[in-house]
Chain A
Amino acid sequence: MGTMGLALPWKARIASAPREAAAASAVTRAGDPATAGKWGTRVEGSEHLGSGPQGAAAEAATEDAALAAACRAGDLRAYERLYSLHGAKMKNLARNVLGSPVDAEDAVQETFLKVQRSIASFRGQSSFVTWTYRILINTCYDARRSRLRKKEVTTDDDSEETPRIEPRAPGAHPSLRMALECALGKLTRHQRDVFLLYEVEGFRHAEIAGMLEITEAASKNTLFQAKRNLREMLEPPRSSSAPSRA
């Protein structure tokens, strides 16, 4: 399967994607440090630099609390606000976990219903948005398990837990995207989740730790493992001059 990633030379693929590089820089959010150098890698300011804008963080926390309070009060506009802020991101995350846009929309809808049902039990131990994403991720895996059970009932196929990938709208590099999707399917659940949350959706490790109920260090380590595995799956055979990795 890794051969899919070799359809295009790695260097050529990346070199032909200046727009993506620019987008990558743009996606890193306010509060995150800017990229470190010309490569556009995201390095988390709040975690490493300690110089993130405190005002923006406080404002975000206030809005988060207000949103939670309004949702708890049953205000439908608060749910609409939550959807307008995070709906697209939630759907994209669910799409990448489940592999199907239809299933992703179902999962997002189910997530909103679960938030409505259990908002009374939300104690504010994490941010409301983090809590919502945790529900979304669990809902996605519930949906996957349910799909697997159905599959087991109907067929005797192997029950490998990989997302069923359906075609997307054509992008700049469909072959790269497909190769990445297939490679992601081979990662462990945690590696895939952390990679998607960090690299695709742009969350910080602190947020990911809250969503997946792991430590920040575990989140960083899992991302490192995920990227190393992905690189091995996607990278073309390297020259012998490259130094061996630990």
Chain B
Amino acid sequence: MNVTCKDRERIFEDGSAADWAALEAHAAACAACAEEVRAWKSLSVAAKQLQDYSPNPQLWTRIERALVEEDARKAQRAARKRWLSFFPAISVGWQAALAAAFVLILTVSVGWKLLVPVSEVDRGQHDQSLLKSAALKEVESTERAYEKAIDKLAAEAKPQLEDPATPLMANYHEKLLVLDSAINDLRAQAGLNPSNAQLRHQLLATYQEKQQTLEEVLEARK
């Protein structure tokens, strides 16, 4: 293949190995082309000055860490997406209904929280004034036993009271009639509201008063 000086630039741009061989053969006899070819190839040699492949051992560690972190973030995003994936599948109407329900639940919860202190106080009072069924049964049985005992005491004192020998005995008699009347009233109220501990306390106090009065009557007989 014969080449001339005119072919030089074409070969520089896109010459085949055969073209280059022919150009170099031509350059052996042509000083101008020899200089051009040498200078052209010198650029390729000079380019190697820009090669710096000195390793940095830390770089891969850095990249690896970044890749692992990115992978973890990706997994988190995927998990979040999975969790919420049902949401777009339902209609807008249902989404609105769910949102409304959520708002309602939130409002009720907040309202409940705000009302809790008042309710607590009320509940505390009810706890003190109300007797539970087991306690009520126990109180009623004790009352019945107490009543029987007092009735026995009253039976003993009956002769003195029905025929009072002294004004004091007459006063005791009147007092016992008042206490019996009070006991009957309280028992009627307790029958209507058996769990009311206050009534039970008053009834007990009245029984105790009656017991004490009967004891005094019996003491006066001696």
Residues of B within 8 A of A21 (CB): 45
List the B side residues contacting A173 at CB < 8 Å.
46, 49
A235 within 8 A of B: yes
Asked if A85 CB lies within 8 Å of chain B CBs, one says no
Q: Which of B3-47 contact A (CB under 8 A)?
A: 5, 8-9, 12-17, 20-21, 24, 31-33, 35-47
Q: How far is the CB of A180 from chain B (nearest CB, A)?
A: 6
Q: List residues 81-98 of chain A with CB under 8 A from any CB of chain B.
A: 83, 87-89, 91-92, 95-96
Q: Does A145 contact B (CB under 8 A)?
A: no
Interface 1/0 per residue, A223-246 and B, CB below 8 Å: 110010011001100100111011
Q: Which of B50-58, B110-118, B170-178, B179-187 contacts A (4 or more CB under 8 A)?
A: B50-58
Instruction: Provide the A1-43 mask, 1 if CB < 8 A to any CB of B, else 0.
Output: 0000000001101100100110110010000010011111111
The answer, among A27, A41, A235, A243, for a CB contact under 8 Å with B20, is: A41
The answer, yes or no, to whether B97 is at the interface (CB within 8 Å) is no
Beta-carbon contact of B52 and A168 below 8 Å: yes
Evaluate contact between A196 and B42: CB separation under 8 angstroms. Answer: no
Contact of A109 among B21, B37, B62 (CB under 8 A): B62
B59 CB to nearest A CB, Å = 5
Is A112 close to B, CB under 8 A?
yes
CB distance from A103 to the nearest CB of B (A): 13
Q: Which residues of B sit under 8 angstroms from A235, Cβ to Cβ?
A: 39
B67 touches A200 (CB 8 A): no
Contact of B67 among A14, A20, A88, A116 (CB under 8 A): A116
Q: Does B71 count as interface, using CB distance less than 8 angstroms?
A: yes
The residues of A with any CB-CB pair to B shorter than 8 Å are 10-11, 13-14, 17, 20-21, 23-24, 27, 33, 36-43, 45, 48-49, 74, 76, 79-80, 83, 87-89, 91-92, 95-96, 105, 108-109, 112-113, 116-117, 168-169, 171-173, 176-177, 180-181, 195-196, 199-200, 217, 220-221, 223-224, 227, 230-231, 234-235, 238, 241-243, 245-246
* Minimum-distance CB pairs A-B, first 9: A199-B47, A36-B20, A177-B49, A39-B41, A48-B16, A224-B13, A88-B53, A14-B42, A243-B32
29 sample A-B contacts, Cβ–Cβ < 8 Å, listed by A number: A10-B39, A20-B46, A33-B17, A36-B17, A39-B24, A40-B44, A42-B44, A43-B17, A76-B67, A88-B55, A89-B53, A92-B51, A95-B52, A96-B50, A109-B63, A109-B66, A116-B67, A116-B71, A117-B70, A177-B50, A180-B49, A196-B50, A220-B14, A224-B12, A227-B40, A231-B39, A234-B43, A238-B35, A242-B35
